[in-house]
Amino acid sequence: DVKVTQSSRYLVKRTGEKVFLECVQDMDHENMFWYRQDPGLGLRLIYFSYDVKMKEKGDIPEGYSVSREKKERFSLILESASTNQTSMYLCASSYGGVANTEAFFGQGTRLTVV
Amino acid sequence: GEDVEQSLFLSVREGDSSVINCTYTDSSSTYLYWYKQEPGAGLQLLTYIFSNMDMKQDQRLTVLLNKKDKHLSLRIADTQTGDSAIYFCAGGGYQKVTFGTGTKLQVIP
């Protein structure tokens, strides 16, 4: 079974804090993604990575950065958390190199910024 | 980029059929997907259809694709209370997939 594990289910952080969200996958997938999910807006892609040390901006990268030092781990960083970054964050991974890009998702991290 | 739109809410009675609709803008999407999200969980792939197909059936699920109108639908036959969830359509090709807004399906016993 493919497993995508996000380090926290719930996080509460203060405005201005630097926040790290960690994601690990165990299927040797090339592609990894970070989305945020907000009611009525669906999933919006923040960043994705198709290889170690590679990253691409998604649709809403502002206020975020990412790190992929190892193939299995993809970190999302909020440099200075703000209240409008309160959201559900979902990490996903997929096998690269084929067009059928089924994505496997983690359970999500619900982040609240106060 | 791709835009994918869905209605936000659908309510059906247990045993009836549910039809969830989706429209997309990028006709170059190679695959179109339906994902299901149960409460408190991440998304799981339900089914997908290759862009050169019109229909795909998988047990209680039927996917219809109208490429001319860029319209995708998911029909769930004999809807059960366990089908209550948010359903996302998504389109894409290599690497990047764009998700719709999600349709919350409520099944009334």
A46 touches chain B (CB under 8 A): no
Percent of chain B past pLDDT 70, that is, above it, reads 94
Query: Is 70 exceeded by the pLDDT of residue B49?
Result: yes
pLDDT grade for A95, boundaries at 50, 70 and 90: confident
Query: Is 70 exceeded by the pLDDT of residue A69?
Result: yes
CA distances from A114 to A20, A81, A83, A85, A111 (A): 16, 9, 6, 10, 10
Query: Is 80 exceeded by the pLDDT of residue A2?
Result: no
Residues of B in contact with A92 (CB under 8 A): 42-43
pLDDT of residue B98: 85
pLDDT of residue A107: 93
The closest alpha carbon to A23, from A39, A5, A40, A36, belongs to A5
pLDDT of residue B53: 86
Q: What is the pLDDT of residues B19-48, one digit of tens each?
A: 999 998 877 777 889 999 998 888 999 998
Query: Is 80 exceeded by the pLDDT of residue B95?
Result: no
A60 touches chain B (CB under 8 A): no
B30 burial type by CB count under 10 A (0-12 exposed, 13-18 middle, 19+ buried): middle
CA distances from A110 to A8, B5, B85, B103 (A): 8, 24, 18, 20
B75 touches chain A (CB under 8 A): no
pLDDT of residue B94: 62
A77 burial type by CB count under 10 A (0-12 exposed, 13-18 middle, 19+ buried): middle
B1 touches chain A (CB under 8 A): yes
CA distance B30 to chain A (A): 7
- Overall average pLDDT of the A67-85 stretch: 97
Residue A67 contacts residue A18 (beta carbons within 8 Å):
no
Q: Searching chain A, which residue's CA lies closest to the CA of residue B99?
A: A43
pLDDT of residue B96: 72
pLDDT of residue B31: 84
Residue from A101, A104, A109, A110 to probe the interface with B (highest B Cβ count within 10 Å): A101
Q: Searching chain B, which residue's CA lies closest to the CA of residue A49?
A: B95
State the Cα–Cα distance between residues B2 and A61, nearest whole angstrom. 17
Q: What is the pLDDT of residues B56-77, one digit of tens each?
A: 999 999 999 998 898 999 999 9
Residue A18 CB contacts under 8 Å (≥ 6 apart), including other chains: A77, A78, A79, A80, A81
pLDDT of residue B26: 76
User: Are the Cβ atoms of A103 and B97 closer than 8 angstroms?
Assistant: yes
Residue B8 contacts residue B103 (beta carbons within 8 Å):
yes
Q: Searching chain A, which residue's CA lies closest to the CA of residue B46?
A: A102
Q: Searching chain B, which residue's CA lies closest to the CA of residue A41?
A: B101
